[in-house]
Amino acid sequence: MKKLVILGSTGSIGTQTIDILDCIEAEVCAITVNTNIEMAEKQARQLHPQLVGVYDEEKAAELRIKLADTDIRVVSGMDGLIAAATLPQADIVVTAVVGMVGLLPTLAAIDAGKDIALANKETLVCAGQIVMRRAREKGVAILPVDSEHSAIFQCLQGRADNAIRRILLTASGGPFFGKTREEMRKMKKEQALKHPNWSMGAKITIDSATMMNKGLELIEAMWLYDVEPEAIDIVVHRESIVHSAVEYDDGSVIAQLGNPDMRLPIQYALTYPKRVPCKVPALDLPTLSRLTFFAPDTDAFPALNLARRAAKARGNLGAVLNGANEAAVDLFLKDKIAFTEIAELVGKAVEGVNYISEITVNDVLESDRVARRMVLDCVK
Ligand code: MG
């Protein structure tokens, strides 16, 4: 029986992880939430974890009262998240929190020798060189949960020592595929939040509309698979059936296909290298009339080139790109800026920040803070 910790148990990935627990042999020994203690209480009573971490201190105190009739321990703040991530009996930590807040608990889990089922892409985008180095030193596995990275991981099984020539990272293109920048300028959050294929949290759905999500995934893939950004092609594939592909030196392309449902990549990360029956309906190829592929429109979606630039530069630019983007998406969701200003503000931060090539964890946190401030200062 595998023992799991779920960081971010009430979010989209967290709840889908809980949904597949009966398919895999696993039990949950800790969960963490940001503020949603109503759902945390339900999950705690259902899963009987040893520990529940609540990031918000006041909400933690409320949950402690709600769970007073149980022996479940409630901890709070970043220390609480780290306590959950390093729980002695845990084997694997599902990092399903949104944003930079995932970095310190993920590093703590690695230091404690836990394998990581990584759904928090910001961790690698901001601190890929630190995280991957530490994982190698500690001998822990970083198992991708992001559907594209799971696909690439699956395509790499059985590669032996063969080199890969390219990664073909597929993108749905989001709700604004085919639109010009001018048309996108007027788009409101209600339109940006309508993703054609995937049901996801708000932040990532906006990232999908700007295609920054694909840019962040490019950086994530670069670190996970140790490839140069030039060897990663982004391919728009509207149907979200081919979840990504790998091209080997002989020109053979191996792809992973499936219905767009996160429960499969979550499950594979938790059962790897085993495959077990999954709740996701199997793909029925004859019912798919056709699959289409396009080169991305980098003029309409400038986030792609910004991310490529940050990927090539490495250092602190990943953290700057991500921090500026989180701040700008937040402003857009609060109706403070236009849709196209998200990428413009991120561009200004990437241009204007001091570049640091060899980064420490403190540099990452500081670059994130500076980037957010730059975005807010531009809007004032
Ligand atoms: Mg993805």
From CA 174, how far away is CA 12, in angstroms rounded?
Answer: 18
Give the distance (Å) from ligand 1 centre to CA of residue 310.
19
Give per-residue pLDDT as tens, 315-373: 999 999 999 999 999 999 999 999 999 999 999 999 999 999 999 999 999 999 999 99
Sign of CA dihedral 338, 194, 239, 308: positive
189-200 per-residue burial string, b: 16 or more CB within 10 A, e: under 16: beebeebebbeb
Q: What is the pLDDT of residue 34?
A: 96
Cα-to-centroid distance, 146 and ligand 1 (Å): 5
Predicted confidence at residue 201, as pLDDT, reads: 79
Cα(182) to centroid(ligand 1), Å? 26
Residue 366, amino acid: E
Cβ atoms of residues 265 and 183 within 8 Å = no
Q: Using the mean position of ligand 1's atoms as its centre, give its distance from the Cα of residue 120 in Å.
A: 10
Which of the four pLDDT bands, split at 50, 70 and 90, describes residue 112?
Answer: very high
Answer yes or no: are the C-beta atoms of 27 and 51 closer than 8 Å.
no
Percent of the chain at pLDDT > 90 equals: 95
H and E: helices and strands count for the chain: 16, 11
Q: Which long-range contacts (CB under 8 A, 24 or more apart) does 280-286 make?
A: 283/241, 283/257, 283/258, 283/259
Tell me the CA–centroid distance for residue 66 and ligand 1, in Å.
36
Q: How far is the CA of 257 from the centre of ligand 1 (A)?
A: 14
Cα 108 to ligand 1 centroid, rounded to whole Å: 24
- Give yes or no for a contact between 95 and 220, defined as CB atoms under 8 angstroms apart: no
Distance (Å) from CA 144 to ligand 1 centroid: 10
For residue 339, give every residue at least 6 positions away whose Cβ sits within 8 Å of its Cβ, in sequence order, or none.
184, 185, 186, 187, 188, 192, 209, 210, 332
Task: List, for residues 127-149, the tens digit of each pLDDT value.
Answer: 999 999 999 999 999 999 999 99
Alpha-carbon span 303 to 335, nearest angstrom: 20
Q: Which pLDDT tens digit goes with each residue over 83-92?
A: 999 999 999 9
Mean pLDDT of the chain: 96
